[in-house]
A and B are shown apart, each in its own frame.
Chain A
Amino acid sequence: MKVLLSLAFYSLISRKVSVFLTILCVSLSIILFSSIDNFRKSSKKTFFSNAKSGDLIISSRSGEIEALLYLIFQIGTPTNNIRWKSFKDVQNHPDVKWAIPISLGDSHKQYRVLGTSSDYFKKIQIKNKKLEFYKGEHFKDIFDVVIGYDVAKTLNYKLNDKIIVAHGVSSQDFHDEFPFRINGILKKSGSNIDKLIFVSLQALEAIHKDWQGGFKLPNVKHNPTSFNESDLVPKEITGAIIKLNSKIKIFQFKRDLLKYKSEPIQAIIPGLTLTKLWQIVSFVEQILFLICYLVIFITLLGMAASIYTNVNQRNKEIALLRVVGASPRSIFSILILEGIMISLTSILISILLMLLLNIILNPILDTEYGIYLEYNFLSTYNIIFYCSVVLISILVGLIPAYRGYKKSLNSGI
């Protein structure tokens, strides 16, 4: 075997330019596959981590996916509100460790405004990390606002800048009599949080005192200093994130909430709902993988074609090897080994390039897009993938190897 390996190796070295190009093609197709896979896993992880902080999400009864997307990712159409009293009932339930209210509806320059309590910044975790402040801190005063990293960066906002919140998402009506002061800018988290503007629920209540049924009341005008605490207890919120004392009680709690009599509310298990959502879009993922596998297969077929063409030009070598004692099987093995060597070298190069790319790109991706690519080339998945690349290279390598075998049967002096 050692002899055959060395003969295959030297033969490849003698065709270094074409072999190099083949290795480059195979390496790039492996990198393409690994990158897509890596990106998919990392995005999934980031996506799921956004909803990991709480055990349950409560909202008015609607589609679970719809409610989850709206409350956690601020995507889609708004759900009905739930009463503040219902939230308090849930919050005061003995099984509840903590509950964070969420109120959505308003915006600022296309960025969503999320009303919540200051607990949000203490309890919510993204990728198992608590939210951190880049500058400033959470709201201390009613009209303090905390903005996400992307908001600050895109709109070039600094601490103590004043911002005006608009009513609704694309409304032209502004709560211009209640300017907010930026009291904190969050660090980049790589989630939708970076694109949010946080205000207190009291502030939301205050700016909507002059509004009813989505319209501003004429001739009613409050000013920012005219409120006292008791005026600003919210009447309704969009939903809440709930953490229970024990995870074992999640399903029981979810069932119990369906029996809540005051109003129809539901509890969503974020992980399960996200998995359902992921299953819906998984066909795109599968198509993408199919394309990647095809790219690898076609590249390896190209490799086989290059070896095949070469076999036709190697009459002299095959004849010599046969005459000095190599069996047709040895010739067959040499050609298969050439394919294996190309695929193994390609895998090695792709691993090194991926590691290098990770070192270079990870800080940029993490800071700019909040995606941290974790490339573990020794994972079971990757090892299976590399083995399948070698296996495919052996399978397609059978074509030139068989050609070499047949040729060797008829070769001689």
Chain B
Amino acid sequence: MNSKNLIEIKNLEFYWNNQDEFKIQINDFSIQTNEKKLILGKSGIGKSTFLNLICGMISARAGDIYILSQNLSSLKAWELDKFRSENIGVIFQEFNLLDHLSPLNNILLPCYFTNKDLNKSKERAYLFGKKLNLNNDLLTKSNSKDLSTGQKQRISIIRSIINKPKIILADEPTSSLDFDNKNSFLNLLFEICNEEKISLLMVSHDLNLKNKFKDVIAFESFFKL
């Protein structure tokens, strides 16, 4: 494996429900530190499955996934869960905040499953909150139900970087946003990734995002389906 690569995938084969006709095959894929990659593809083609493979949420029938030189298949289940919470930040479609938790608790969710100092993580949450115009009162309010879309975007970004991950996986985070919100979200995300030296792998079906990324891969042509 190339030591410059943050993520490296070799000869990966994944079959949906173990049926041979539905598969994703990736012979060679990598992302380097600070790199930002966009994978474009139609809905339902397997983009989220691809991210789940990288996360270690599902396992492939064959091949290897290395993250930070660590072969995911060599990790035990609990080690994989811990590795994921420490090294991978995730931004979901529609941001996926838990309404019943405060914005701060939503941000701190990944910290609950690591051994990191929670107080330091809180400080970091407040710091980024301030940077992104989310004051402490808003972060500590009782639930996240009434937040605006913009506030939800920013909270989901802070949550994805709270554990200082090496990479952020973003699953169609802009799919429900209008043009302005989409731009501001991406600008913010890029800014944070640059500041924190975090790589970004985003999957989307939105062709308009092409211009925002230097490195764009078409899912259908790159991965054998």
- Please list the residues of chain A having a beta carbon within 8 angstroms of any beta carbon in chain B: 3, 7, 10-11, 13-14, 316-317, 319-328, 330, 411-413
CB distance from A339 to the nearest CB of B (A): 18
Q: Which of B42-90 contact A (CB under 8 A)?
A: 48, 51-52, 55, 57-58, 77-78, 81-82, 84-86, 90
A326 with B48: in contact, given A412-B58, A413-B55, A413-B90 (CB under 8 Å)?
no
CB distance from B202 to the nearest CB of A (A): 12
Q: Is the interface of B mostly helix, strand, loop or mixed?
A: helix
Q: What separation, in Å, do the CA atoms of A13 and B55 have in the docked complex?
A: 30
| B30-48 interface bits toward A, Cβ cutoff 8 Å, 1 = contact, 0 = none | 0000000000000000001
Q: Is B99 an interface residue (CB 8 A)?
A: yes
Cross-chain contact B109 with A10 (CB below 8 angstroms)? no
Cross-chain contact A413 with B84 (CB below 8 angstroms)? no
Q: Name which residue of chain A comes closest to B89, CB basis.
A: A324
Q: Name which residue of chain A comes closest to B92, CB basis.
A: A413
Among B4-12, B110-118, B175-183, which stretch is in contact with chain A?
B110-118
- Leading 10 A-B pairs by shortest Cβ distance: A325-B85, A14-B100, A325-B113, A412-B57, A412-B52, A324-B110, A3-B112, A327-B81, A324-B109, A413-B51
Other-chain contact of A319, B96, B113, B114 (Cβ < 8 Å): B96
Cross-chain contact A10 with B171 (CB below 8 angstroms)? no
Give chain B residues whose Cβ lies under 8 Å from the Cβ of A330: 113
Other-chain contact of A322, B57, B86, B171 (Cβ < 8 Å): B57
- Please list the residues of chain B having a beta carbon within 8 angstroms of any beta carbon in chain A: 48, 51-52, 55, 57-58, 77-78, 81-82, 84-86, 90, 92, 96, 98-101, 105, 109-110, 112-114, 143, 159, 169, 171
Other-chain contact of A412, B55, B100, B109 (Cβ < 8 Å): B55
Q: What separation, in Å, do the CA atoms of A380 and B32 have in the docked complex?
A: 65
Q: Name which residue of chain A comes closest to B159, CB basis.
A: A324
A317 with B98: in contact, given A326-B113, A330-B113, A412-B48 (CB under 8 Å)?
yes
Cross-chain contact A324 with B90 (CB below 8 angstroms)? yes
A13 with B81: in contact, given A323-B55, A323-B90 (CB under 8 Å)?
no
Q: What separation, in Å, do the CA atoms of A359 and B215 have in the docked complex?
A: 75
A320 with B96: in contact, given A325-B110, A411-B57, A413-B51 (CB under 8 Å)?
yes
Q: Name which residue of chain A comes closest to B106, CB basis.
A: A320
Q: What separation, in Å, do the CA atoms of A326 and B111 have in the docked complex?
A: 10
Cross-chain contact A413 with B171 (CB below 8 angstroms)? yes
